[in-house]
Structure 1
Amino acid sequence: MKINRIKYLLQQHVHQKLTKSESEELEEGLASGAHDTEFESIFQEVWEENQANNLSDVESDNLRIQQVLERIEPKRRVRHLQPMLYIASSLLLIFSFIKWGIPHLNNAKTTEEQSLITQTISIPYGEKKKIALPDSTIVFLNSGTTISYSSDFNQKLREVNLKGEAFFEVKKDTSKPFRIHIKDSYIEVLGTSFNVKSYPNDLNLAVTVNTGKVEVGKMDMNLQKEEILGVLTQKKRMIYEFSNHNIQIDSLENAIVLMNWKEQIISFENQKLAEIALVLERWYNVEFSFKTDESKDKRYSGEFNNLPLKKLLEILALSNSFKYRIEQKKIIID
């Protein structure tokens, strides 16, 4: 991809003028990694031009860039996302000062736009947290989860970005739909309670509705609704695969079981030990290692109410006879 073409696509993206084919071209270019140096250089050039001419808003630019990068597959993101976001964050600080800081030195009045910042809450492994958003929506955040929103949340829009798992009790407001952004997908409601699960390395998005109605869909590169994937009602669950776009919707008589984590209860239903290990890593802030693939494929069902890790492992080991040992924060399954 030529330099001029990269610059054109980024400019179109910032101004939300990308066509569908151009969006696909930009995304493929980012995902390939073949032009990382050029992208980093042109990111800076494009932002400098826009900010010098007051052509765009810093916060919205950053959100759109993040949405592009979020669509790169997990392994690519681990290697390339952090450097790109570091550059974007650094530029944001510089351009925020140029656009807002210097005028503020000459004008003591602080406008609402000048004070906008992004609020971010990250929950470490081994912990959980209950928070209240500015609109009185209650959110339970599971271990290893990050939620972020703008400081103007609930003034015109109610939008959050989520990585991980959370249970939402959304305050009803028919004039301001509540929207959650996850990778290239969105979830939109007016007032309801539901569970969302999609950690950064998960291959799918799982949405389970406890009460009310939830719309799940895809966004385009400009953060506009592109496609509605489904509308879920009480006790319905959708699993959306990011890679092949497969959608599975099923009814759950006991849907609340999938939300028990917020009550410190771990529930498994015919799940592989490898899948259970991922949950326990976040829950107890430990690391699992398997000596054989055979152990990974053993399946378990059960419900455990806030048990110490050692006791839980003893129960799992007895129910399907495997051996394990604990070395500080590492669990080795033989």
Structure 2
Amino acid sequence: MHKERITQLIARKLSGEASPEEIKELDALLKEYPEDAYLLSILTDYWPTPIPAMAGEDAASEAHFRHILDAAAGRTEEDTAPVYKSRPHYLRILLTTAAVLAGLIFFAWLYVKQFRSQPAVPLVSRIETIAKPGAKSRLLLPDGSVVWLNSGSRISYPANFTDSLREVELEGEAYFDVAKNSGHPFMVHTRDIIIKVLGTAFNVKCYPEDNKTEATLVRGLVQVSKTGDGPQEALLLHPHEKLVVSRAPESVDANTSPASISAVPDNMIVKHLKESAADTAMVETAWVYNKLVFDGEDFPEIAAEMERWYNVKITIHDPAVARYRFHAKFENETITEVLSALQLSLPFTFKINNNEVNIYR
């Protein structure tokens, strides 16, 4: 490229190493590209003026080096002390440094010249909201959408939705009531799936410690695709349908009707929920109304919910107890009251020590 060649020739000219042919070549290039002559004029103005040639290469090298140091310190020739002993390598170091410096200055100037005419792109600041274990959070997004954030979850979104898409990132569980805007689709990015909507209400559950991600549609219509590079097959969810993306084989409750399950490719399952169930009674959305609902989940799944709900650590010490499944609904009960109520259904014992809960046969 001509600019790289101009950089080399400028560096050689300022360092005094350019041959007459190279100087002619530089002059020709600057005539062809006059905008680059501006840099040469700047560097020439600030480049140290060479001192008269002295007898002997060593003396010239030392005197030139000394002259530059004095000029940088603001000293005149009358103020300078006698020169040091001969050090021929100074000139070589100086010329190399000069060439590198000239190249850096040139490319910096070229960068500024290239981008100064382009409009500045504002940096979009992001907001991150975290609901700590044992707590929930409700927030209003810049577009008017409302989000309820469950315990142990975090959401990240721009301070202003300036693009054609309204995009947020979620880790954990959240219930979205999206403000309708057909010109700006709303997208939720999670570990396993991407949800795209226009205006609707849905729940997403994607805790990193869980072996599955769930998306439950309450009303409206959403498009769901798997996270990954390249185009992904998209599915449409209808009201009272739940998509489950499993990282391990999905276990199905023995009481679940096969007609309520639709298999789709790539370890994805669509479950059809009871349309008569109110939002407050659905396992997937009851937490928004401060209700803890279990509908046939096994004990480890229930324990994980209770850990986030009460900010405790639960350990099940018996494999048989871990296979227990429960159907129950709680509201405003303590963890002791919940476990005591579950004991009425199936036999187990528990011990609570501060925030640690141990469950035995």
TM-score under structure 1 length normalisation: 0.63
Q: 2:354 & 2:172 partners in 1: Cα distance? A: 26
What corresponds to 2:198 in structure 1? 190
Is 2:233 aligned against 1:227? yes
Q: What is the CA distance between 1:329 and its match in structure 2?
A: 0.5
Aligned to 1:327: 353
Distance between the aligned counterparts of 2:204 and 2:155, measured in 1?
Answer: 12
* Alignment deviations for residues 195-245 of structure 1 (CA, whole Å, 9 cap, x no partner): 111101222221111110011102433xx64221x1011111111224673
The percent of aligned pairs where both chains have the same amino acid is: 32
Larger RCO: 1 or 2 (CA < 8 Å, sep 6+): 1
What secondary structure is seen at the aligned counterpart in 2 of 1:321? coil
Moved over 4 A (4+): none
In structure 1, the residue matched to 2:13 is: none
State the alpha-carbon separation in 2 of the partners of residues 289 and 241 from structure 1. Answer: 23
Q: Which residue of 1 aligns with 2:246?
A: 241
Which amino acid in structure 1 is aligned with residue 270 of structure 2?
Answer: I
After TM superposition, the structure 1 = structure 2 runs for residues 157-172 of structure 1, keeping only pairs within 5 Å, are: 157-172=165-180
Amino acid aligned to 2:180? K
Higher helix share: 1
Cα 1:261–1:165 change in 2 (3 A) is same
Assess if the C-alpha contact under 8 Å between 2:324 and 2:346 holds in 1.
yes
Deviation at 1:310, TM superposition (A): 1.2
| Whole-angstrom CA distance in 1 between matches of 2:337 and 2:133 | 19
Structure 1: how far apart are the matches of 2:288 and 2:162? Answer: 25
1:19-168 equivalences in 2 (<5 Å): 113-114=122-123, 116-168=124-176
Counterparts of 1:188 and 1:242, CA distance in 2: 22
Q: CA deviation at 1:255?
A: 6.6
Q: Deviation of residue 294 (structure 1)?
A: 1.5
1:266 equivalenced with 2:274 (yes/no):
no
**Cα distance 1:220–1:273, how it changes in 2: closer, same or farther (>3 A)?**
closer
Could you tell me how far apart the structure 2 residues matched to 1:161 and 1:141 are?
12
Report the secondary structure of 2:314's partner residue: strand
Q: CA RMSD in A?
A: 2.0
Post-superposition shift, 1:128? 0.4
Structure 1 position 155, deviation (Å): 4.2
- Check whether the contact 2:192–2:245 (CA below 8 A) recurs between aligned residues: no
User: Which residue identity lines up with residue 200 of structure 1 in the other structure?
Assistant: P
For residues 212 and 302 of structure 2, the distance between their equivalents in structure 1, rounded to whole angstroms, comes to 16
CA contact (8 A) 2:242 2:271 kept: yes
Given that 2:194 and 2:224 are in contact with CA atoms closer than 8 Å, whether structure 1 keeps it comes out as: yes
Determine the structure 2 residue equivalent to 1:309. Answer: 335
Instruction: Give the C-alpha shift of residue 289 in structure 1.
Output: 1.3
Task: Please identify the structure whose Cα radius of gyration is greater.
Answer: 2
Alpha-carbon distance between aligned partners in 2 of 1:328 and 1:137, rounded to the nearest angstrom: 38
TM-score by length of 2: 0.58
Q: Tell me which of 180, 183, 200 is aligned to 1:175.
A: 183
Aligned partner of residue 313 in structure 1, secondary structure: helix
SS at match of 2:304: helix
Check whether the contact 1:219–1:225 (CA below 8 A) recurs between aligned residues.
no
CA distance in 2, matches of 1:242, 1:178: 26
Aligned to 1:85: none
Structure 2 distance, partners of 1:219, 1:272, is 28
Task: Give the C-alpha shift of residue 251 in structure 1.
Answer: 1.6
With over 3 angstroms needed to count, the CA separation of the structure-2 counterparts of 1:264 and 1:214, relative to structure 1, is same
CA–CA separation in structure 2 for the residues paired with 1:117 and 1:170: 21
State the SS of the aligned residue for 1:226.
coil
1:47-105 superposed Cα distances (whole Å, 9 cap, x missing partner): xxxxxxxxxxxxxxxxxxxxxxxxxxxxxxxxxxxxxxxxxxxxxxxxxxxxxxxx9xx
Q: Give the one of 205, 213, 223 matched to 2:213.
A: 205
Deviations 1:18-37 (A, max 9, x none): xxxxxxxxxxxxxxxxxxxx
Q: Which amino acid aligns with 1:247?
A: M
Question: Structure 1: 5+ residue runs without aligned partners?
Answer: 1-102
The number of equivalent residue pairs is 223
Instruction: Mark the CA change 1:145 to 1:225 in structure 2 (over 3 Å): closer, same or farther.
Output: farther
